[in-house]
Amino acid sequence: MKRYFYLWHRWLGIGLCLLMALWFVSGMVMLYVGYPKLTPAEHLTHLPELPARDCCIDLAQVFAASGRDDAPQSLRLSSAEGRPRYLLGYADGSGVTLDALDGRRIEAVDEAGALASARQFDPRATAHYLGLVDEDAWTHSRALDGDRPLHRVQLDDAEGRQLYISSHSGAVVRDATRTERAWNWIGAWLHWLYPLRGPWWSNLVIYSALAATAMALLGQVVGVLRWRFSRPYRSGSRSPYRGGFARWHHVGGLLFGGVVIAWIFSGLTSMRPWHLLDSQSTLTASAYQGGALRAESFPLPVREALARFRQAGLHPRELEWRMVGGEGVLQALEGNGNSRVLAMDDANEPLRRLPESTLRRAVQAMAAGTAFEVEELTAYDFYYFARAEQSMNGGLQRPLPVLRARIDDAAGTWLHIDPRSGALLEQLDERRRLARWLFNLLHSWDWQPLLQRPLLRDLLMLAFSLGGLVVSVSGVVLGWRRLRRAR
């Protein structure tokens, strides 16, 4: 049996050590430079304030002009091409864009419109049109599917930023700085094997990670079997290898092998292989909303709502309508992220947060008679936490305080609710909480004692990554030597 352990480890290593070396190098880059994204903070910062006068047509006109019979899942008043626009999103992934001043439906955005949106994003920079793309190295995200094809515009700003602009709405949906583009060729682009992206990409990543996990586990077994615990070899060493790459590989594997296995396996789980970690909860967001987005749920005219927000000292750059437990709620957002809400059942003064009774009614409707409990979190914990902007989840909003509702259903569902807006931020059942352990803890080390000490976390991750790189590179050399000998 020992011989088979050696052979499987050797031949898997010959095929996979180079890939693992690339994973370690790219992972170290990703600690500091993430895959390009347009964060909510960047989005709001680069929006103009909504007009103080003559804005905008009311929702009854919006729904009539949309040409759709089904209710949208999302509705925002934002800006594109320098003009306020209504953005409606539907369950099938499609969207409708309307000019908020005259109700005109925007069917497509041309080159001139894309340049106008780029000037809105940064009025001080000169914009150069680079063409229309369906997908390129920085736009692989499926979240952009409803906006494709994308206009690409280069800004002559200090960061050499490229903007990706929806050809359907004119909204800027992604930006990529010169630094992000340069480092990501050896960062996320390599880490996620994007050069091999195609119909089989997902399975390629899954089975490569599975094989690498098996290789690393076998390596640990072989390493322990070859280590002399009771008496050393004739050389006086506990390892049979006196020096060179073989010794580096053996000793390095024993020192860093556990972390290597954890990283590879947890990277595998990030792909949600074979739907093993998919949510099993049967509770739906539509039940939480308690009704469809309809004009009659928002009787307050838009002009009056904007006036009330301004009287409260807020200068809105974006409005968002949502349903919470059958009640219409309107949220206004400033460029710095400050917000206020108006509840349509009592649309008097804008509030900093919704009453907890409103949110409890929404949870009760979603729980459908199942017992639940609600607590308020004022600090991050293992299941609710914020990450640095460059991280994979750095673009997710994680405000505090937040309400956590624990529902006693079969899947053990937890909800995270933003009391400032009533938005359902996250739905975690037992499987998704398990994924927190298998990926966020083992792969990203998302553990509050480390997240609160970012320098220590970075130093530890760099040290173990360098250890893994030593194991991988020495494995590449040994594999190359074995192939040359066999040839």
pLDDT digit string (tens) for 321-335?
A: 999 999 999 999 999
Whether the per-residue pLDDT at 255 is higher than 90: the answer is: yes
Residues 470, 385 share a domain: no
What span, in angstroms and rounded, lies between the C-alpha atoms of 121 and 114?
11
Question: pLDDT tens-digit profile of 121-171?
Answer: 999 999 999 999 999 999 999 999 999 999 999 999 999 999 999 999 999
Residues 360, 481 share a domain: no
What span, in angstroms and rounded, lies between the C-alpha atoms of 360 and 372?
10
Residues 292, 260 share a domain: no
Domain count, the chain: 2
DSSP 112-158: HHHHHHHHHH-TTS-EEEEEEES--TT---GGGGGG-SEEEEEE-ST
Residues 459, 436 share a domain: no
Asked whether the beta carbons of 297 and 328 are under 8 A apart, the reply is yes
The fraction of the chain above a pLDDT of 90, given in percent, is 84
Residues 479, 368 share a domain: no
Residues 392, 258 share a domain: no
Residues 405, 323 share a domain: yes
Residues 480, 348 share a domain: no
Instruction: Examine residue 65 and state whether it is found in any structural domain, yes or no.
Output: no
Instruction: Examine residue 55 and state whether it is found in any structural domain, yes or no.
Output: no
Whether the per-residue pLDDT at 486 is higher than 80: the answer is: no
Burial of 459 (0-12, 13-18, 19+ CB in 10 A): exposed
Residues 428, 293 share a domain: yes
What is the model's pLDDT at position 98? Answer: 97
DSSP 237-299: -SSS--SHHHHHHHHHHHHHHHHHHHHHHHHHHTT-GGGTTS------HHHHHTS---GGG--
Mean pLDDT (the chain, rounded): 93
Q: What is the pTM of this model?
A: 0.92
Question: pLDDT tens-digit profile of 294-320?
Answer: 999 999 999 999 999 999 999 999 999
pLDDT band at 487 (very low <50, low <70, confident <90, very high): low
What span, in angstroms and rounded, lies between the C-alpha atoms of 309 and 428?
34
What is the model's pLDDT at position 343? Answer: 87
Asked whether the beta carbons of 170 and 109 are under 8 A apart, the reply is yes
Whether the per-residue pLDDT at 346 is higher than 70: the answer is: no
Instruction: Examine residue 43 and state whether it is found in any structural domain, yes or no.
Output: no
Handedness of CA 378, 384, 387, 393 (dihedral sign): negative
Instruction: Examine residue 363 and state whether it is found in any structural domain, yes or no.
Output: yes
Question: pLDDT tens-digit profile of 226-240?
Answer: 898 888 888 888 898
Per the structure, the complete domain to which residue 292 belongs is given by 285-441
Residues 331, 201 share a domain: no
Residues 346, 241 share a domain: no
Question: pLDDT tens-digit profile of 424-462?
Answer: 999 999 999 999 999 999 999 999 999 999 999 999 999
pLDDT band at 251 (very low <50, low <70, confident <90, very high): very high
What span, in angstroms and rounded, lies between the C-alpha atoms of 426 and 193?
28
Question: pLDDT tens-digit profile of 371-412?
Answer: 999 999 999 999 999 998 888 888 888 999 999 999 999 999
Question: pLDDT tens-digit profile of 21-54?
Answer: 999 999 999 999 999 999 999 999 999 999 988 8
- Nearest 5 degrees, angle CA 389-CA 392-CA 396? 60
Residues 298, 410 share a domain: yes
